[in-house]
Amino acid sequence: MEKALAQAKAAGRNQEVPVGAVLVRDGRIWARGRNAMIGRNDPTAHAEMVVLRRAGRKGGNYRLGGCDLYVTLEPCLMCYSAMVQARIRRLVYAADDPRPGSFRPASTTWSRTYTITASR
């Protein structure tokens, strides 16, 4: 999570909303990403999407089964859906996002670590 926070700080220095993400594969950092919507003129360039794209390109496969994603802020629905498509094994995030659009139903009190189960 420290590495994800470093990415968030870098995003903030770039005048982006400070969110960072790191993808871990086999116990090692496989890809890093941070918010880049403003700089890229891309509404989908959330930290999680950036890191998923990088990891997919690096591994030559959009499926990232067995990988864990660490992100500094609770993901939005778009990012959560992308994690399911990528077969991310586990999501860990640091801070809840109380704004509408986060993936966690408001009525639940889930922990901040999720095991993502995708259909095969």
11 near Zn ion (CB under 5 A): no
Residue keyed to tokens 């496969």: 61
48 included as an active-site residue: yes
Q: Taking the complex as a whole, how short is the minimal distance between the CB of residue 22 and Zn ion, in angstroms?
A: 15
Instruction: Name which of 46, 1, 45 is nearest 23 in CA terms.
Output: 1
59-88 footprint of Zn ion as x/- string (CB under 5 A): -----------------x-xx---------
Contact residues: Zn ion, CB under 5 A: 46, 76, 78-79
